[in-house]
Structure 1
Amino acid sequence: MITNIALVSVWVRDVDESKAFYTDVLGFEVRDDLTLGPDFRWCTVVHPQQPELQLHLTTPTTPLPDYLVEAMQRAQAEGGLPGVGLNVADCQKAFDELSAKGVEFLQEPQQRPYGVEALMRDNSGNWMVLVEPRDYTPEDFAGVDMS
């Protein structure tokens, strides 16, 4: 049976630019970067503290049909694609450091029932959430408006 999650694909506009963002700005490391044909590049990055989980940085292209590639590219241009959630030890510190590197934030750090959360975009417009987690119970959400 399934033992773990090993790979998550992240749709990006440009693999080289995204590889630089994920490594130089966010601190990930390149695992693989291979060209496997005229229209396919296999580029993965990993976080040094979680090397078993690879992020596959990929552009919308074949074998997806043209209409889906176009829809994905429109969603990217509008900044409407979800990315990944990242745990941080100190959300305010991560916000300050990433802001200083030019990262676009949609939401400054805010207290939530599950911890402190900030919402940012990667360089392809994907939403990414930074969370400084804390223990919580379902009761912590009573009456909470998450909008």
Structure 2
Amino acid sequence: MKIHLTSVFVDDQAKALRFYTDVLGFVLKHDVPVGEKDRWLTVVSPEEPSGTELLLEPLGHPIARTYRDTLVEDGVPLAQFAVEDVHAEYERLRALGVRFTQQPVEMGPVTTAVLDDTCGNLIQIATQAR
């Protein structure tokens, strides 16, 4: 068994697509209309185009908004992405205007930082020491 798809709840799919592709560097995998205004919108890592897909899921269900907003209020990231070097990625993303709620912190063998994805979520980036 392996993870094929996971999702983040977003308040604006077009805005999320721009952020996740233009800023974070993911690439569009699927863009399929679902209903009148929503889309089945997934992105993948350019390093693993056949790897796990991230669904930019519309924030339709009221409990999803409560869940997402409560995580943000408590400072808990909804997802974690692996990066080669947290410090370098932190600097690259800050130069692009990304707001971080946690700058790089070393926690034993892992270094993490937490960013605001502009779509209502906190995302953690992490590097594990080799």
Same-fold status (TM-score > 0.5): yes
Q: Give the number of aligned pairs.
A: 127
What is the 5 A alignment of 1:35-50? Answer: 35-38=33-36, 40-50=38-48
Deviation at 1:29, TM superposition (A): 0.3
**Given the superposition, is the C-alpha separation of residues 111 and 68 from structure 1 closer, same or farther in structure 2, using an over 3 Å criterion?**
closer
Deviations 1:83-114 (CA, angstroms, capped at 9, x unpaired): 32111111111000000111110111111112
The one of 3, 13, 16 equivalent to 2:11 is: 13
What is the 5 A alignment of 1:1-147? Answer: 3-38=1-36, 40-51=38-49, 52-61=51-60, 64=61, 67-68=62-63, 71=66, 75=69, 79-80=72-73, 82-134=77-129
**Given the superposition, is the C-alpha separation of residues 7 and 69 from structure 1 closer, same or farther in structure 2, using an over 3 Å criterion?**
closer
Q: Which runs of 5+ in 2 are unaligned?
A: none
Separation in structure 1 between the aligned mates of residue 36 and residue 114 of structure 2, nearest angstrom: 35
Question: In percent, how many aligned pairs have the same letter?
Answer: 31
Query: Which secondary structure does the structure 2 equivalent of 1:19 belong to?
Result: helix
Deviation at 1:117, TM superposition (A): 1.2
What value does the CA root-mean-square deviation take over the aligned residues?
A: 2.1
TM-score by length of 1: 0.76
Larger RCO (CA under 8 A, 6+ residues apart):
2
Q: 93-102 or 51-60, which moves further after superposition?
A: 51-60
Amino acid at match of 1:93: A
Q: 96-105 or 84-93, which moves further after superposition?
A: 84-93
Separation in structure 2 between the aligned mates of residue 29 and residue 38 of structure 1, nearest angstrom: 24
Runs of 4+ aligned residues of structure 1 deviating over 6 Å after TM superposition are none
**Given the superposition, is the C-alpha separation of residues 18 and 70 from structure 1 closer, same or farther in structure 2, using an over 3 Å criterion?**
closer
